[in-house]
Amino acid sequence: MALTFDSNREHRLLVLPALFDEANKMRRQTVEVMLRLELSGVDTFLPDFTGCNESLQPMAEQTLANWRAGAEAAAVHFNATHVFSIRAGCLLAPPHQPGWRYAATTGAKALRSLLRARTIAAREARKTEKTDDLVILARKDGIELAGWPIGAALFAELEQAVANTDSQQATIEQSDIGGAGLWLRAEAGEDPEQADMLAAIIAMGTLEP
Amino acid sequence: MSIEPAKEAVVAGEETEAGLSPLPPGRSKVDVHLREILRDVLALDPEQVDGFDADTGLFGHLPELDSMAVASLFTEMEDRLDIIIEDDDVDGEMLETYGGLLTFAEGRSTTEDTPEDGSS
């Protein structure tokens, strides 16, 4: 399943979204960028990863390797000329594809936030959960974090995962577009100025001869 | 992260650009950064965050601050203030008010700071 803006144009951008809790928070902004690119002459494709959203595959059985293969397959399927990956989506970007990585993060950082949310929620419920214990549990049996069932294999992969260093993709930092990253916020939202900047950077890079 | 000249101006001991000091004196760097972090995480107006004082309620008082939001807040604090926040550090006191959170952050931070209390 994918959200696509496909007019059979020459310039075709695979969009790899933020993962887990950040997926929800960044969704509207991601689509805002895609809408702008659509107007600029770039076709865009935002796949759902197996185990996520309407996928019929159980999330708990997913692995980073699956998702990376899925990203490669999506690039082929949509005839992508470029890739735009967002936050932990950068961990999945096919390295040979030109494009951009926006505010890349590591798997370890993604897990850290999720683990922390769990220990804080436990504290609120007057239970004690220690991060170290949760990590041991997760590596053995997998774990549910912020409502996301993460299998043991995925957890272990994420602990080590960084964006591919061989890639030719350009880096876009939050400071390049101004304002604060929308993944920080408690609720999903959009920021038109940030979306304008992101779309402009991508459009210029995609459409230039 | 962009640094706004007006905020730079109030950090004690540093040169001001235009000589303007719209914010109260005596704010440590950690205090300035912590307000920026809360502004970003809570998506509040700068004026509102600027009005936070030691007794301003956080967790339990601001509906946006659920456990995932607090996790984001701590991750940003770690990154921007260059500190580590362990499980055991997290207690009601540091989360309940702005003053508690600031005290914690200042205690952890090794950033050089010259508070405006007359000591040097």
Q: Do residue A98 and residue A49 come from a single domain? A: yes
Q: Look at residues B97, B87, B19 and name the one whose alpha carbon lies nearest to residue B54.
A: B97
Q: Look at residues A178, A154, A18 and name the one whose alpha carbon lies nearest to residue A89.
A: A18
Q: Do residue A127 and residue A176 come from a single domain? A: no
Instruction: For the domain made up of B25-108, give the CATH fold.
Output: 1.10.1200
Q: What is the pLDDT of residue A194?
A: 97
Q: What is the pLDDT of residue A103?
A: 96
Q: Do residue A122 and residue A178 come from a single domain? A: no
pLDDT in tens, B9-44: 444 444 444 444 455 556 789 999 999 999 998 888
The Cα angle at residue B57 between residues A182 and A130, in degrees rounded to 5:
70
**How far is Cα A15 from Cα A183, in angstroms, rounded to an integer?**
16
Q: Do residue A145 and residue A175 come from a single domain? A: no
Contacts of B43 in chain A (CB under 8 A): 180, 185-187, 189
In contact, A4 and A46? CB cutoff 8 Å: yes
Look at A85-99, A192-206, B84-98 and tell me which has the smallest mean pLDDT.
B84-98
**How far is Cα B118 from Cα A14, in angstroms, rounded to an integer?**
57
Domain end residue (candidates: A160, A184, A199)? A160
Q: What b-and-e string marks burial along A55-68, b requiring 16 or more CB atoms within 10 Å of the CB? A: eeeebbebbbebbb
Count CB atoms within 10 A of the CB of residue B19: 7
Q: Decide which of A73 and A59 is more confident.
A: A73
Judge whether A89 is closer than 8 Å to chain B, CB to CB: no
Q: Look at residues B70, B16, B82, B22 and name the one whose alpha carbon lies nearest to residue B46.
A: B22
Q: Do residue A76 and residue A113 come from a single domain? A: no
Provide mean pLDDT across the span A104-132.
92
Strand partners, B57: B97
Q: What is the pLDDT of residue B38?
A: 92
Provide mean pLDDT across the span A55-79.
89
Which residue in B40, B64, B65 is closest to A180 by CB distance? B40
Judge whether A187 is closer than 8 Å to chain B, CB to CB: yes
Q: What is the pLDDT of residue B14?
A: 42
Q: What is the pLDDT of residue A133?
A: 96
Strand partners, A145: A148
Q: Do residue A87 and residue A188 come from a single domain? A: yes
Residues 6+ apart with CB under 8 A from B68: A21, A113, A117, A146, A186
**Is the pLDDT score of A161 beyond 80?**
yes
Average pLDDT, chain B: 77
Q: Do residue A138 and residue A86 come from a single domain? A: no
* pTM recorded for the entire structure: 0.85
Domain end residue (candidates: A121, A144, A160)? A160
B contact test, residue of A22, A26, A106, A120 with most B CBs within 10 A: A120
CB spacing of B1 vs A175 below 8 angstroms: yes
Q: Do residue A196 and residue A115 come from a single domain? A: no
**Is the pLDDT score of A32 beyond 50?**
yes
Q: What is the pLDDT of residue B9?
A: 40
Range of the domain at A131: 107-160
Nearest chain A CA: its distance from B70 CA (Å): 7
Average pLDDT, chain A: 92
Contacts of B76 in chain A (CB under 8 A): 184
CB spacing of B2 vs A175 below 8 angstroms: yes
Q: What is the pLDDT of residue A51?
A: 63
User: What DSSP string describes A17-40?
Assistant: ---THHHHHHHHHHHHHHHHHHHH
User: Which tokens belong to A183?
Assistant: 């993944």
Q: What is the pLDDT of residue B77?
A: 94
Q: What is the pLDDT of residue B27?
A: 79
Q: Do residue A95 and residue A38 come from a single domain? A: yes
Q: Do residue A132 and residue A142 come from a single domain? A: yes
Provide mean pLDDT across the span A5-23.
95
CATH value at residue A94: 3.40.50.2300
**How many domains does the structure of chain A reveal?**
2
CB spacing of A186 vs B87 below 8 angstroms: no
CB spacing of A185 vs B68 below 8 angstroms: no
Q: What is the pLDDT of residue B5?
A: 47
Q: What is the pLDDT of residue B4?
A: 46
